[in-house]
A and B are shown apart, each in its own frame.
Chain A
Amino acid sequence: MLDALRAENPRGEHLLEVRELTKYFTLNTNIVSRLAGRTRTLKAVDGISFHIRPGETLGLVGESGCGKSTTGRLITRLIEPTSGQIRLRGEDLLSFSAKRMRETRKDVQLIFQDPYASLNPRKTIMQILSRPLEVHNLAKTWHEKRERVLELLNLVGLGSEHIDRYPHEFSGGQRQRIAIARGLSVNPELMIGDEPVSALDVSIQAQILNLFRELQEKFSLTYLFIAHDLSVIRHISDRVAVMYVGKIVESGPVATIFSDPRHPYTKALLAAVPEADPKKPPPRLTLKGEVATPIDPPPGCRLQGRCPLATSICGEVSPALVTVDTDHQVACHHL
């Protein structure tokens, strides 16, 4: 097993490697349902594998309920996976002791979608940004902390006059800058953004996307960028993984995914985006029906009920991700 791993990742060149990661939630867990055997399984993440190289941005895209946020939470171990491996710099994160895990948390930071909910309204910006420094022993004296917090504010484009203010005094865009500063405060290697710009208006969204880019260049950060907006993913990513109902259906370099999508779901997703240009073709849907449910899904491909290409094999065998081109993988029986 270890040899196989080394063979695929010879020089440990992947910062993060996720293998066969699975998260099942059991529903109807009350005693009556359990005794009657009526519990159901929600397969939020169902055996996904991907890797991220140092300094690159992997965009994870999919519609609501596809498991992309669960993936982000699993990698930070905010929730524990049902099975699978998460390797950070080649080491199995899931085998870490509580103490080792606590130290490692500073290497992987998560930015949440809603900056109104992710910042404590009772704490000042100084308190919010100095707390991680205390937890990880990165600054001792008040002066050291103050200096570092001012530096962080400056990095995210906020003035030093904001340091003693409370979150409610800021706009959504400014709050997201504070959340990013908090992530940066512990010098992480990997930043996971879980829909970090989707609550923002488009003019502010562009500012925050630029900030992510600047910080990546300055600190050689690696990003896992989770979003449902394809134009945001197109802009920020080096490589893209497309998720549908708990599975990765296609992954590859961003230009390839957007110019030569191979999976019927990726194609449908791209055709459905209304582009802000009346000369472009209008959005249309090439799939039938609605997103399938991850609760007790039938065997086979998750797209089978909606796919124009579906045949009998799609109802029996779940397609594996196969490499169709350099770094380009697709999970479909009908390539």
Chain B
Amino acid sequence: MAEPVLEIDNLSVHFKLKRGVLRAVDGVSISVGKGETFGLVGESGSGKTVTARSVMRLIPTPPGEIAAGTVRFEGRDIYQMSDREIREIRGRQIAMVFQEPMSALNPVFTVGSQIGDVVRTNMGLGKAEARERTLEMLQLVGIPSPAARIDSYVHEFSGGMRQRVMLAMALSCDPTFLIADEPTTALDVTIQATILELITSMIERFEMSLLFITHNLGVVAHACDTIGVMYASHLVEKGNKNEVFANPQHPYTVGLLRSIPRLDVQEKFLTPINGYVCNMRAPPQGCKFHPRCAHAMDVCRERIPAFKEVAPNHFAACHLHDQANV
């Protein structure tokens, strides 16, 4: 693998709430190499968005707290940086695209002035140059007649076009790393297809690395090289995309893949994962997945399984692999 650009090592993020501590992320380790696209998959509340936000140091503290672990970007520890240093990285080197462009963009400024602000602040361009750059970016992401749209407000764009504006803003300062947090979830399937195509082509064109957060396994299957699966704050599986889809090593990943209705054949009944996601304020002892797992053993109720290599470059956290190694 290429030299890692982003290294998240044993990261734990806790939120101190009135009713106790919520462990939103617990011991997650991820590394993303140069030009690599990493897809982080999980269901709602699994901790994938908190993981992504902690990279940009966007966790509100308090109530949040980095309880353990490090986040390193190009070898430098994000959490050892001064505010000034992190500002140099945000937007300029690491850019982020959010799920809801309507709430991520400001409704009272035109898209031109918002993108213009970003490039003026980050690249030190003058007003005219910034406008020039903004037009160029809007053109790049496929906004039709950008000169006519640059002075429009966010509400004047459709959902797909808003997401293009977000992407234009994110890419405006030539970042080397893009974090996309559910960028297509609010979009219709045909619009999703165009946005995914756009992101993929931009990644290739600018040789960026990508951390892609989604709950949609179909999207990661096509947009990413490597995938990580999260369940209840833990990373439970990680590996090459083809490997994970063809040969999933964690019962949760297996269950997820079986839960998805197929397009080619019609089965009478699906194979769901039984039960419900555990309450994160009072998670079960041991493996967080054991109450829903068909293979649960005594050890699963007691100890959290170690995250280890079960095949070359394929990691999983499951006690089923303990015996295999003995």
Interface residues of B in 245-285 (CB under 8 A from A): 245, 255-264, 266-274, 276-277
The reply on B217 being an interface residue by CB < 8 A is: yes
Q: For the complex formed, measure the closest distance between the CB of B248 and the CB atoms of chain A, giving whole angstroms.
A: 11
Interface residues of B in 215-263 (CB under 8 A from A): 215-219, 221-223, 241-242, 245, 255-263
The reply on B106 being an interface residue by CB < 8 A is: no
A273's partner among B218, B266, B277 (CB-CB below 8 A) is B218
Interface size on B, residues (CB 8 A): 46
The reply on B47 being an interface residue by CB < 8 A is: no
Residues in B with CB closer than 8 Å to A258 are: 263-264
The reply on B65 being an interface residue by CB < 8 A is: no
Taking a contact as CB atoms under 8 Å apart, the answer to whether B272 and A63 are in contact is no
If the complex has contacts A275-B221, A276-B218, A284-B197, are A255 and B266 also in contact, measured as CB distance less than 8 A? yes
Residues in A with CB closer than 8 Å to B222 are: 274, 278, 282-283
Taking a contact as CB atoms under 8 Å apart, the answer to whether A285 and B269 are in contact is no
Taking a contact as CB atoms under 8 Å apart, the answer to whether B158 and A269 are in contact is no
Cα A173 to Cα B242 in complex, Å, equals 30
Q: For the complex formed, measure the closest distance between the CB of B278 and the CB atoms of chain A, giving whole angstroms.
A: 10
Q: For the complex formed, measure the closest distance between the CB of B150 and the CB atoms of chain A, giving whole angstroms.
A: 19
The reply on B9 being an interface residue by CB < 8 A is: no
Cα A234 to Cα B189 in complex, Å, equals 15
By beta carbon, the residue of chain A nearest B259 is A206
Taking a contact as CB atoms under 8 Å apart, the answer to whether A202 and B188 are in contact is no
Interface size on A, residues (CB 8 A): 45
The reply on B193 being an interface residue by CB < 8 A is: yes
By beta carbon, the residue of chain B nearest A283 is B193
The reply on B44 being an interface residue by CB < 8 A is: yes
By beta carbon, the residue of chain B nearest A259 is B264
Q: For the complex formed, measure the closest distance between the CB of B164 and the CB atoms of chain A, giving whole angstroms.
A: 11
The reply on B145 being an interface residue by CB < 8 A is: no
Taking a contact as CB atoms under 8 Å apart, the answer to whether A285 and B272 are in contact is no
Residues in A with CB closer than 8 Å to B192 are: 272, 274, 283
Cα A272 to Cα B197 in complex, Å, equals 11
Residues in A with CB closer than 8 Å to B168 are: none
The reply on A318 being an interface residue by CB < 8 A is: no
Known contacts A231-B260, A273-B263; 15 additional CB pairs below 8 A are A203-B273, A204-B272, A204-B276, A205-B259, A206-B261, A207-B272, A272-B193, A273-B218, A274-B218, A274-B222, A274-B223, A276-B217, A278-B245, A283-B222, A287-B190
Instruction: List 7 A–B pairs whose Cβ atoms lie within 8 Å, in order of A's numbering.
Output: A210-B270, A255-B266, A272-B193, A274-B192, A276-B217, A278-B221, A279-B242
